[in-house]
Amino acid sequence: MRAMILAAGFGTRMRPLTDHTPKPLLEVAGLPLLEHHLLRLEAIDVDRVVINVGHLADRILSHFAAKPNAKGQLEACWQGRKRRLTLIFSREETPLETGGGIARALSLSDALTQDAGDDTPFLLINGDVWCDVDLTLLTIQALASHSLAPLADQPQALAGLVLVDNPPHHPRGDFLLTPTGIVKDEADAASDEQDEKDEQEEQAGSRLTFSGVSWLSPRLIRRAIAETPAYQGPDSVFKLAPLLREAMQHGEVRGLHHRGTWIDVGTPQRLAELDELLSHARA
């Protein structure tokens, strides 16, 4: 299993902390946030991690001592607590958005996938979140969706999202998770229809917030590229969210409700909250 960490953002909401330090290198409990993600990936069957970098990329590349490999890719060997991970860095000279960043990573030889015909799912983690979801469970779901033939009345899944209870700063949530584990995109109802809408949602499932942790099939990105000329090219700029919403319309997205710890590290206050949480756990 391989993984990608999205770490190319500007970290605008974290300023002034991110004026000179990229958000992935901000320290939490004595380690850069990015290395906390790597430690969790080290603990499961992940051997290769692609990290896209943009804002203050040189600081991240220097931190990991990344150097060009035989294929001209920026590579580093990161020593975890028990084993080493191979890191491949996908440098974005201009922001490519989430979908474009993943597409570029997929174009790198033997990085996110073994080759252009490899449809093995990969883990995808936003670099600015913290979630203690069981990543092993997530990989099992991903590989099962990849290997099992789809049911007659249910298409093959192309993505699996970890969903969490809605936080105070995002009370309406993002997507609806049905009792059968299907993720749907339900548009917000008008105010005079809201009570009826809420009742329907209670019967059909729960509206939850996307945690920023997921698995994706390369087919989701490759299909969008094949169908959309604007997405074709090594530096195409497009978002992942519209692709997920389109896949939801076809029943191709699964969900997992995580009831444990999740923090959107989007502000200095929430960074401090995570620091306190992990520091206490290490004590």
Q: Residues 72-125: pLDDT tens digits?
A: 999 999 999 999 999 999 999 999 999 999 999 999 999 999 998 999 999 999
Extract the tokens encoding 138: 């997530």
DSSP 10: -
Residue (of 278, 245, 264, 226) closest to 103 by Cα position = 226
Residues 6+ apart with CB under 8 A from 119: 113, 146, 217, 218, 219
3-state secondary structure of 17: coil
Separation between Cα atoms, residue 108 and residue 114, nearest integer Å: 9
Confidence band (pLDDT; 50, 70, 90) for 149? low
Separation between Cα atoms, residue 34 and residue 76, nearest integer Å: 14
Mean pLDDT, the chain, as a whole number?
89
Residues 6+ apart with CB under 8 A from 89: 50, 51, 52, 53, 57, 60, 61, 64, 66, 73, 74, 75, 76
Separation between Cα atoms, residue 86 and residue 108, nearest integer Å: 14
Separation between Cα atoms, residue 9 and residue 128, nearest integer Å: 9
Extract the tokens encoding 217: 């099939």
Angle at which helices 218-227 and 241-249 cross, to 10°: 100
pLDDT for 127: 93
**Is the pLDDT reported for residue 194 higher than 80?**
no
Separation between Cα atoms, residue 179 and residue 49, nearest integer Å: 32
Q: Which of 141-155, 177-191, 209-223 has the highest mean pLDDT?
A: 209-223
pLDDT for 202: 45
Pairing of strands 159-164, 253-258: parallel
Residues 6+ apart with CB under 8 A from 183: 161, 163, 175, 176, 177, 248, 253, 254, 255
Question: What average pLDDT does the segment 33-57 reach?
Answer: 94
The pTM assigned to this predicted structure is 0.91
Residue (of 137, 143, 159, 176) closest to 214 by Cα position = 159
| Amino acid, res. 128 | D
DSSP 233: S
pLDDT for 28: 93
Other C-beta atoms closer than 10 Å to the C-beta of 160 total 25
